[in-house]
A and B are shown apart, each in its own frame.
Chain A
Amino acid sequence: MKRFVSMFWVTTIPFFAMIALFLLVPLLSMIGGSFQAEGGGGFTISNYREIFSNPYYLQAFENSVLISFLSALIGIVVAVFATYAITRFPQALQQRVLVITNLTSNFAGIPLAFAFIVLLGNSGLFVLLAKQLGIDFGQSFTLYSWSGLTLVYIYFQLPLAVMLLYPLYNAIQKQWMEAAELLGASPWEFWLRIGFPVLLPGIVGTFSILFANAMGAYASAYALTGSNYNLVPIRIGALVSGDIFARPELGSALAVLLGLTLAAALIVNEWLTRKIRRDLS
């Protein structure tokens, strides 16, 4: 093996120190903390037992998984079609559309929640418009509930989905379509038999990234409902930052479980992608 030059050590030691200090040590400390009783002490699984026996925390997981799944699903279905439309534009226009999409991906968190308040909040644009038309959807829809939050989540899923899906369409070559057409296939048949199966591994991968993205999202929900809405990231934030009721050990256990959920999503994605690819070959 090549002898490492001094430059190598000078540059990589701060780098690995940084990662150790601000990534590995905190993660390990969090995992360790999740197995401690309140205020420290020996090994215990009481935090986990509390989470699994408390309907409130179970509901937070249920809500988080549901909203993440739903927003990722709607986001990806719409984006699959919309991205395909983008790939059929002239090259220069495609680039412009992607820049705009990228720009809206910055519109997340607090600013995004606020924009939705302007549109759909208690005196939002659409709420007023509906009132003028004699419809009062104050009963069936409010922004500060499950349905409103889902709309906000879908907003930040869409640009991400388009950006991740766009490169996939390069894999489908024009010649395939022409060949299929020559052999008498309709566009629908082409997409069903050839196009979609080629895209599928990428779509599944993108879906799991969207799912993870929503599971960890904190700012939008926090801005809309404070700590009222029962989602896992909101619960974690409340458990560790509350000055009087801070319970960092319980927060750690929740965070570990959230991390495991994300890891599971990524592992399922790996497994599915590989399975689909094997079926193809």
Chain B
Amino acid sequence: MKRISLPSLSFALVMLYLFLPVAATILYSLATEWNSTVLPEGLTGKWFAELYADPRFLQAFGRSFLLSFLTTVVAVVIIVPAVFSIIVYAPRMERLVQILVMLTYAVPGVIMAVGLIRTYSGNGIPMVIITAGAYLVGLLPYLYQGTRNSLLAMQARSLMEAAELLGASHWQAFVRIIVPNIMSGIFVSSLLSFSILFGEFVLINILVGGRYETLQMYLYAKLSSSGHVASAITVTYFVLMAIITGLVVKFTRRSFARKEVP
């Protein structure tokens, strides 16, 4: 008989530990009453029905979606061309960009919040815009890495030279040749960025507070009032993240497959 090894045991424990809270939340969101018994007394969909009928939830969800989506789009539009230019025309500048990436990665949200409040509060600019600006910078590590990998994989520099020799302008070459080639990489990085922003709580809570209630803040508000509804929100959020993760995996596999069969 095979002995259970330490690695397998710790793996099983990790998986159990990671799954138990998820499973309990799902169960709680479907439970009728669950205050004194070990297992729920009955199953129901009424918490979800109640949640999806609540306009405050729909608004919060919409705000989160809008904020994350628009910020991701703006971040892609600003960061991707800049990283492209730096890699193709000024590779030496990459050192500087890498330092900036490290900096954004190493500075936690709560520290950024202090600086942003000191700099921008009371200037009349809505703090949501400032938060979105901080999100743009926060996405830098993910978009930089994704863009850089795609560009290096397709040898963007020689491709640009070839296109320009054939008479294309810089912009033409970039839009017609580079962008289509890095599209799947950008798409995957964007999905990741979107999911990161969708789960963000620190900056929006400290900078904006209740004036722009996102999904995470709505969930926080619901924690004390109804556990079942809060579970339904958590499950909804988790399902959305699962869908995004699934898409990321699907598209990464596809781009891998394309690389294997040229």
Q: Is the CB of A258 within 8 A of B111?
A: yes
B107 interface neighbour in A27, A237, A251, Cβ under 8 Å: A27
Task: Provide the residues of chain B in CB contact with A216, threshold 8 Å.
Answer: 108-111
| B window 196-244: CB within 8 A of A | 199, 201-202, 205-207, 209, 216, 219-220, 223, 227, 230-231, 233-234, 237-238, 241-242
B128 is an interface residue with CB less than 8 A from chain A: no
Q: Is the CB of B25 within 8 A of A241?
A: no
A276 is an interface residue with CB less than 8 A from chain B: no
A4 is an interface residue with CB less than 8 A from chain B: yes
Q: How far is the CB of A133 from chain B (nearest CB, A)?
A: 10
Q: Is the CB of A4 within 8 A of B89?
A: yes
Interface segment among A14-22, A45-53, A178-186, A198-206: the answer is A14-22
Given the contacts A27-B107, A111-B238, A251 and B79 also touching, CB distance less than 8 Å: no
Q: Is the CB of B79 within 8 A of A15?
A: yes
Cα separation A108 to B207 with both chains bound (whole Å): 20
A240 interface neighbour in B79, B117, B130, B245, Cβ under 8 Å: B117
Cα separation A116 to B113 with both chains bound (whole Å): 27
A272 is an interface residue with CB less than 8 A from chain B: no
A82 is an interface residue with CB less than 8 A from chain B: yes
Q: Is the CB of B89 within 8 A of A2?
A: yes
Cα separation A101 to B134 with both chains bound (whole Å): 27
Given the contacts A29-B118, A78-B13, A236 and B110 also touching, CB distance less than 8 Å: yes
A102 is an interface residue with CB less than 8 A from chain B: yes
Q: Is the CB of A255 within 8 A of B111?
A: yes
B53 is an interface residue with CB less than 8 A from chain A: no
Given the contacts A30-B111, A104-B18, A119-B21, A18 and B133 also touching, CB distance less than 8 Å: yes
A27 interface neighbour in B14, B35, B38, B115, Cβ under 8 Å: B115
Q: How far is the CB of B204 from chain A (nearest CB, A)?
A: 10
Cα separation A78 to B17 with both chains bound (whole Å): 11
Q: Is the CB of A81 within 8 A of B22?
A: no
Q: Can you give 18 contacting A-B residue pairs, CB < 8 Å? A: A8-B89, A26-B119, A27-B107, A28-B115, A29-B115, A81-B6, A99-B245, A107-B18, A110-B216, A112-B21, A114-B230, A114-B231, A118-B24, A123-B35, A218-B109, A219-B205, A255-B111, A255-B115
Q: Which B residues form the contact surface with A (CB < 8 A)?
A: 5-11, 13-15, 17-22, 24-25, 28, 35-38, 78-79, 81-82, 84-86, 89-90, 100, 103-104, 106-120, 130, 133-134, 136-137, 140, 170-171, 174, 195, 199, 201-202, 205-207, 209, 216, 219-220, 223, 227, 230-231, 233-234, 237-238, 241-242, 245, 249
Q: Which A residues form the contact surface with B (CB < 8 A)?
A: 2, 4-8, 11-12, 14-16, 18-19, 21-23, 25-30, 33, 78-79, 81-82, 84-86, 88, 99-104, 106-119, 123, 125, 128-129, 132, 154-155, 158-159, 162, 212, 215-219, 222-223, 233, 236-237, 240-241, 248, 251-252, 255, 258-259, 262-263, 266
11 extra interface residue pairs, beta carbon distance < 8 Å, beyond A104-B22, A155-B17: A11-B85, A22-B137, A30-B111, A78-B13, A109-B199, A109-B201, A110-B201, A115-B21, A118-B24, A218-B108, A259-B111
